Structure 1
Amino acid sequence: MSALGAAAAGGGLFRPLGAADGEEEPQPDEIESLCMACLRRGTTRLLLTRIPFFREVLVSSFACDSCGWSNAEVQSAGRIQELGVRYTLAVLTKQDMNREVVKTDCATARIPELEFEIPAFSQKGALTTIEGIIDRAVTGLEQDQPVRRETDPGVARKIDEFISKLKQLKEVEEAFTFVLDDPSGNSFVENPHAPQRDEGLVVAHYKRSAEQAAMLGIEEEESDEKSVEPVDDLRNEVLQFNTNCPECNAPAKTNMKLVQIPHFKEVVIMATNCEACGHRTNEVKSGGAIEPLGTKITLHVTDPSDMTRDLLKSETCRVEIPELEFELGMGALGGKFTTLEGLLKDIQTLVEKNPFTLGDSCTPGRAEKLSAFSRKLQQILDGQLQVHFVMDDPAGNSYLQNVYAPEEDPELRVECYKRSFEHNEELGLNDMRTEDYETEASSEQ
């Protein structure tokens, strides 16, 4: 049965990639189409699928039996994310060229060392590799070279030299940087070392500019200061606003409430419950400003009762388990107000649903490594393994419960530190100015 046929039968329009036991794999729909190369009839295959840990996507491919021309494309079928994303990868070895990449049509790819850029909307979306992106760029540049050699030999010679430099990149004789910038937040670069941290890959989330929002065809919401209620009134009220379910994209409602955490600060808790598919999600954001100092919290997990400790993980917090050589980067899993057990289970689910551990994308060695990591996490949850749990938040907005409060906890250490320039850069503080505006404005007048 095809994907659209399964939807009609009640199976849902988007089927998960990698069916569970007893389930059918999602099958593509075949449509007869016109070949743009020979103008004869070819076949287009469409597959509506949901990639775990990713988004809903539409995978399409075209093949012509007459002339052999083929084409493939990947489009995001989900909503545009709240934040844009920028991946910066240091390509050091040939293995890095095989990293899988999901590049949407609105993403920009750059190689700063060559001053090379693939602008947004100049290529169709694709599920490919770093090497594949370079090959597509080379193919595009070579396409009109025969005509240029006749009409403008000087320009053709320069393009040939540049194509040669691009081809040399695939040999990785020298390290270079690959940057993938997607204001829609729907692109992705593989971390082959998951669940461990990838030292060569930096992931940064950012707020879209007005120009980027216009490019995506969306409008930024304008805040109305007159409609904002006093904070005192909000503490005793649950606010509700309309949104879309992140799982099935159906209309849903999000509840929001201000909560005071004992011995800490005020936070905003948001919860979404979708009546269409039953999906539930919750997120926590700090209700205060960024603290003057960063905070590093280290808990020595020695007893199963430690799993019941409450914790607040902000969006700017990194989580480390040194004994497992594991690090969860800033922005992953979002903000959460849960228990230590709840966060570890979320990490376990995150690892198991990594799209590059499913199907043909998964190598036996990687699957075995992730399975071993998952077993060790379960041992921690069962109280069979003692580890150190570290929360490092340069914004100082994370919290882990001290069960001995107000006395000192012998297994809990809280360190405050001064943020480095790199920390402030990640938080966007280096370019932020909040003082002397009136003085500067009067001097300009």
Structure 2
Amino acid sequence: MLDWRGRALDDRSFETDLPRLNASDLDVSEAATELINKVRERGSEALLEQSARFDGVAPSSVRLDPGTAKTALNTLDPQLRHAIEIGIDRVRLASALQVPESKSVEVAPGAVITQRFVPVSRAGVYVPGGKAVYPSSVVMNVVAAQAAGVSSIALASPPQPDFEAQIHPTILATAALLDIDELYQMGGAGAVGALAYGVVDIGLDPVSVITGPGNRYVASAKRLVKGQVGIDSEAGPTEIVVIADSGASADIVAADLVSQAEHDELAQAVLITTDWDLAQRVLGDVERRAKATLHSERAQMALAGQQSAIIVVDTVAQAVVVSDALAPEHLEILTEKALDVASRIRHAGAIFVGSDTPVSAGDYLAGSNHVLPTGGRATFQSGLSALTFLRPQQIVHYSHDALKEISEPLGIFARAENLPAHAEAVEARFLTEED
């Protein structure tokens, strides 16, 4: 409980007291570098060794026959299949909105600049294993890439000891629903390295962009290969911030905080409220719900960690300031005139407005994408979208007369920069006319 009532929040001094993870606890770059280098040197042999070491099982091969995914789809629970299909349809509709149209502008008569958006040729999607199974991550990543027009998608996910050393069947079934047939049974930093640099002996060609959440080794590996490939973001432990006033339901706030705390012991759950009584009620409800939930130990550790807190401030405006400083992955607004409050938020991965819009909806079926920046990166990064897989590209077309119009000022510009050949390349086009 942080009682910041009466505290001036109009400078940045309060930011040192914000609840945050210690970044050094997440830094495993040295270990990730070693794992990536081993994959680059020894290919699938290293990947299989890493599976045995980290996943507790080594598959018979890294690359999986796509027929296995079709078999998994045939045995998928019909109700779960229906739920996944709803998610696919809604995310596909929302992702289509993110693809910009090509536009042209005539900057002068006969001088046209066209801007178009071109998809990368190939993308790698990482789907984590570990504490849970995440078919929703398959949907979010693959659908966004497909909406952008990516023609080649490789999916990597760790082999599972409980499923004959193969990728989890629900992940495979979801991949089959999306017509993904290039599948690799590999996880962690080594898998990221394999996608970035390719593995010749299993026919894995390098990708241009790698997306998808993962543990701190995956996040560190994505940072290390950035520049070799594009990445979506360095996704760390999940985060939720709730801004609430006296009209909010304490039990709903508590339920939403616990919903994200169950992901990971390092998950961040923060309430920022203007009401001390609400803060006290939420504290009790969080304790009750955390003890009763399936992943009680995990949730309680996250809620007790230094990254989680209840912060009491004087006004909603101050709550907005604190939230923007945190720049959370997920932000819920449970206040009067919540849409107006949302309009004042600058830094958040995704914003969920009103008591009937929980983060859980965004995790699965709302239609928004749940792959979002964490660790305060929402100040400069956006969530995964079709734009992640698109590159803006300009096409320049000048007529002869349009070029002649700028020939003289261009020459002045070029010679001012001591690059006369630039000017001469333009002037050469008009020498015959001058003669």
Q: TM-score range by the shorter chain?
A: under 0.3
TM-score normalized by the length of structure 2: 0.26
TM-score normalized by the length of structure 1: 0.25
Hey, which of these two has a bigger chunk of helix by percent?
2
